[in-house]
Amino acid sequence: MHARAHDARAQTPSGLVMQRKLSNSAAIQTFNFHRSLLEDSARTNAYRAAIEDVVREGDVVADIGCGTGILAMFACRAGARRVYAIEEEAVIEIARELAHANGFDDRITFIAGSSLNAALPERVDVVVTETMGNNGLDEQIAGTIAHARDAFLKEGGTIIPRALEMIAAPVERSSFHERWPSSYGLDFSPVREHVVNLFHPLAIARSELLATPATMARVDAPAARGSAAWTITRDAMLSGIAVWFRAELTPSIAIANEPESELRCWKQSFFPIAAPRAVRAGEVVRAELQTFDGIEWVWRVDEETRTTLKGWPISV
């Protein structure tokens, strides 16, 4: 009875207006995040330059995770005949408005939903996506690209980014562990085991690095695994490993969110160890990191292993 009454109200003019208001409200909320991406001029200009280098007059382009549609509009300006802009968040409604305001709505076809479920009417010359998280893989970009290569891309087509690698270094961040035994005069130690079995978005300073960064993995498939060894450069307390990405958009254009990077919309991913431990200059620290498409993560620092699945910690 209540369901039928709700359905009936939804079909009235006032019900449709309310639905539209709710949809617009969700779009505005998600836009607050996407605004930070637009305001990161280093990121946006690098993608614009890559699109201008790659897209040719008459090309067909797929923009996966299009957000506000800015990359789709760059592709139109570069000469694309058709752009399929795929987005599963409500911000796609703002993207439609922006495309119309800029005169591109006749060339951009918006598709609401996940690219994994999308069907395009034609193969594309170029796939472009900016779905990198703080460590590169935590927004499932590897699986997204693997699917797009098989489902959307023409033979000999181009993907932006063309290569992705994860870079890491051991760090000293004593404040991370110090906050969990007690806060506000209360005992928070029971949550500590959960906290150290998660990776965290942190803005790491260069001064916190304990060794020269090294590449842990070059990613070309959803399942990624890598390792690295570092020689510690000073006596310190090891807190964990910081991981970031370097994305090669074209052979001559790359972006990286290393500590204190000019890219402002990303931090780094911090993979903690259970408790800080003393390390000395000249000591070698080894770490391994593996993930399946940014969903399940396992990291080992020397002999200690941590793992998390979809943000839920798992003790091993």
pLDDT bracket for residue 170 (50, 70, 90): very high
Catalytic positions are 130, 139
pTM summary value: 0.86
Cβ proximity of 85 and 100 under 8 Å: no
Kindly report, residue by residue over 98-114, the tens digit of the pLDDT. 999 999 999 999 999 99
Say yes or no to pLDDT of 5 above 50: no
Cβ proximity of 242 and 214 under 8 Å: no
Kindly report, residue by residue over 261-304, the tens digit of the pLDDT. 999 999 999 999 999 999 999 999 999 999 888 888 999 999 88
- The answer to which of 10-24, 28-42, 100-114, 258-272 has the lowest mean pLDDT is 10-24
* pLDDT score recorded for residue 150: 97
pLDDT bracket for residue 34 (50, 70, 90): confident
* pLDDT score recorded for residue 10: 43
* Domains annotated on the chain, with CATH: 22-130 (3.40.50.150), 164-314 (2.70.160.11)
pLDDT bracket for residue 27 (50, 70, 90): low
Distance CA 36, CA 238 (A): 32
Please give the C-alpha separations between residue 6 and each of 2, 9, 11, 12, 34, in angstroms, as whole numbers: 6, 5, 9, 10, 33
* pLDDT score recorded for residue 131: 94
Mean pLDDT rounded to a whole number for the chain: 88
Residue percentage of the chain with pLDDT more than 70: 87
Say yes or no to pLDDT of 151 above 70: yes
Closest CA to 54 of 36, 83, 75, 29: 75
Closest CA to 278 of 168, 169, 174, 167: 174
Say yes or no to pLDDT of 161 above 70: yes
Say yes or no to pLDDT of 4 above 80: no
Say yes or no to pLDDT of 315 above 90: no
* pLDDT score recorded for residue 253: 98
Tokens (6 digits) for 49: 């330059």
Q: Cis peptide before 251, with omega less than 30 degrees from 0?
A: no
Closest CA to 164 of 199, 200, 130: 130
Kindly report, residue by residue over 176-222, the tens digit of the pLDDT. 888 776 778 888 878 888 888 889 999 999 999 999 999 999 987 66
Closest CA to 38 of 80, 95, 100: 95
pLDDT bracket for residue 129 (50, 70, 90): very high
Highest mean pLDDT among 137-141, 223-227, 256-260: 256-260
Say yes or no to pLDDT of 56 above 60: yes
Q: Cis peptide before 161, with omega less than 30 degrees from 0?
A: yes
Helix (H) or strand (E) run with residue 306 in it = strand 304-309
Kindly report, residue by residue over 57-74, the tens digit of the pLDDT. 999 999 999 999 999 999
* pLDDT score recorded for residue 2: 39
